[in-house]
């Protein structure tokens, strides 16, 4: 026979798991947790929920004893159909468990509605906060930067193929990333310079106008993105960076391997404390905070 303590721990864990999966600020950490960390997080959250539920049930009994007795009698008569010999202790545990599971379900829903009224997506905000952790998939933080700055990402693959585009789909627990390519190319063998080969933008725009011109721009763009998106496994990505194609010519003009640019004529200020620029002073302040 299963011991009562085992059943109680199971109830704590299930209630805590429901809460942690639904609550925006904990869903990423809980989903990406592993092993005993997952159990500890769920059981601790369950204990907190059961404690709050016990306080609510006790307060309700003290504030309105007649109503509490009436509801308890109805609940006991309902349970006695299945378990005629049920004890008062089991009934009390069942009532507290029902309240705890209701809290686990409706507190996250209330928080989500509250954040949405402020114009925020609580799940996205929580994911952005955890994007720099080691539990989230690779390049997650870069994907958020791409969305915020409106810049595509250049993905360099293990075979030196390069895709430049916007990430469309990536999850908290996944092994690949869906990308809408704008330009594809490759890196040469000797200097690893990036060479553009295919420009997808004119083709995508033309197909969008011909096939989906009668749709709304949002629906047409969604269908085009689904048709032309590519899936890149994380294990095949060697390097990724934001890529602003408008500045390509500026960087080409300042290459050290060009005749007019000599590395010996370039001076770098290595001590950022002497920098007169705003960036230098901010960088120094930021670096000092690492060692506090």
Residues 48 and 36 placed together within one structural domain of the fold: yes
Q: For position 148, what pLDDT does the model report? A: 82
* Together in a domain, 266 and 253: no
**8 and 95 co-located in one domain:** yes
Residue 170 falls inside a structural domain: yes
- Tally of domains within the chain: 3
In this prediction, residue 290 has a pLDDT band, given cuts at 50, 70 and 90, of very low
- Region of poorest pLDDT, from 68-72, 118-122, 201-205, 273-277: 273-277
At 73, which helix (H) or strand (E)?
Answer: helix 65-80
114 in the same domain as 8: yes
Cα–Cα distance, 197 to 270 (Å, whole number) = 38
Q: Is residue 41 part of a domain?
A: yes
Distances (CA, A) of 163 to 31, 100, 179, 260: 30, 49, 8, 31
- 277 and 248 belong to one structural domain: no
The answer to the question of residue 75 being in a domain is yes
- Please tell me whether residues 154 and 86 are part of one structural domain: no
Strand intervals (E) in the chain: 153-157, 161-169, 176-187, 194-199, 230-233, 237-242
- Give CA separation, 165 vs 62, 199, 201, 238, in Å: 62, 11, 10, 16
Interval 186-207 mean pLDDT: 87
Q: Copy the structure tokens of residue 17.
A: 């798991």
Give residue 186's pLDDT: 94
- Pick the range with the lowest mean pLDDT from 37-46, 78-87, 237-246: 78-87
270 alpha-carbon distance from chain centroid: 37
Task: From 14, 16, 10, select the one nearest 108 (Cα to Cα).
Answer: 16
Answer with the residue of higher pLDDT: 224 or 281: 224
| Boundary of a domain, candidates 125, 149, 180 | 125
SS3 266: coil
Domain range spanning residue 40? 4-125
Residue 145 and residue 218 in one domain: yes
Q: What angle do CA 136, 138, 144 make, to 5 degrees?
A: 80
Q: Is pLDDT of 83 > 80?
A: no
From the centroid of its chain, how far is CA 260? 46
Residue 45 lies in a domain: yes
pLDDT of 291 strictly over 70: no
Query: What pLDDT, on the 0 to 100 scale, is given for residue 220?
Result: 75
| Cα 210 to the center of its chain, rounded Å | 36
Phi/psi of residue 60, nearest 5 degrees: -65, -40
Q: How confident is the model at residue 34 (pLDDT cuts 50, 70, 90)?
A: confident
State the pLDDT at residue 172: 62
Residue 137 has pLDDT above 70, yes or no: no
With H, G, I as helix, E, B as strand and everything else as coil, classify residue 30.
Answer: helix
Q: Are residues 278 and 185 in the same domain?
A: no
Q: Indicate if 108 and 180 belong to the same structural domain.
A: no
- Whether the predicted pLDDT of 200 surpasses 70: yes
Are residues 121 and 194 located together in one domain of the fold? no
Is residue 132 a part of any domain in this protein?
no
Calpha distance 112→215 (Å, rounded): 32
pLDDT tier for residue 287 given thresholds of 50, 70 and 90: very low
Do the beta carbons of residue 149 and residue 243 sit within 8 Å? no
My answer on whether 45 and 90 are in the same domain is: yes
The confidence score (pLDDT) of residue 212 equals 76
Determine the 3-state secondary structure of 6 from DSSP: helix
How far does Cα 128 stand from its chain's mean position?
Answer: 6
pLDDT mean over 247-265: 68
pLDDT band at 119 (very low <50, low <70, confident <90, very high): confident
Q: Does residue 131 lie in a domain region?
A: no
Classify residue 130: in a domain, yes or no: no
pLDDT higher for 241 or 76?
A: 241
Whether the per-residue pLDDT at 284 is higher than 60: the answer is no
- Please state, rounded to an integer, the average pLDDT across all residues of the chain: 81
Domain assignment present for residue 133? The answer is no
- Whole-number pLDDT of residue 21: 92
Same domain, 177 and 249: yes
pLDDT of residue 121: 76
Give me the pLDDT at residue 133, please: 62
Q: What are phi and psi of 264, to 5 degrees?
A: -70, -20
């Amino acid at each position: 026979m299963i011991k009562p303590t085992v059943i109680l721990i199971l109830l704590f864990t299930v209630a805590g798991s429901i809460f942690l999966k639904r609550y925006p600020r904990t869903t990423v950490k809980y989903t990406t947790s592993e092993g005993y960390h997952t159990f500890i997080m769920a059981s601790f959250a369950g204990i907190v929920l059961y404690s709050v539920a016990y306080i609510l049930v006790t307060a309700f009994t003290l504030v309105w004893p007649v109503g509490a007795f009436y509801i308890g009698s109805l609940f006991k008569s309902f349970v006695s159909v299945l378990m005629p010999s049920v004890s008062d202790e089991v009934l009390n545990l069942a009532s507290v468990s029902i309240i705890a599971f209701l809290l686990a379900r409706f507190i996250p829903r209330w928080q989500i509605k509250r954040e949405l009224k402020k114009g925020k997506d609580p799940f996205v905000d929580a994911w952005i906060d955890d994007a720099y952790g080691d539990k989230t998939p690779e390049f997650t933080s870069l994907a958020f930067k791409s969305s915020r700055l409106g810049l595509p990402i250049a993905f360099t693959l293990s075979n030196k193929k390069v895709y430049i585009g916007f990430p469309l789909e990536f999850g908290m627990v996944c092994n690949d990333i869906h990308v809408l390519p704008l330009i594809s190319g490759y890196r040469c063998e000797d200097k690893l310079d990036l060479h553009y080969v295919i420009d997808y933008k004119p083709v995508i725009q033309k197909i969008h106008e011909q096939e989906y011109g009668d749709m709304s721009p949002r629906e047409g763009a969604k269908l085009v993105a689904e048709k032309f998106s590519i899936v890149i496994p994380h294990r095949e990505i060697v390097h990724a960076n934001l890529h602003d194609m408008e500045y390509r010519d500026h960087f080409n003009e300042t290459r050290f391997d060009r005749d007019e640019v000599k590395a010996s004529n370039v001076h770098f200020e290595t001590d950022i404390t002497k920098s007169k620029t705003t960036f230098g002073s901010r960088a120094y302040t930021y670096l000092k905070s690492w060692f506090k």
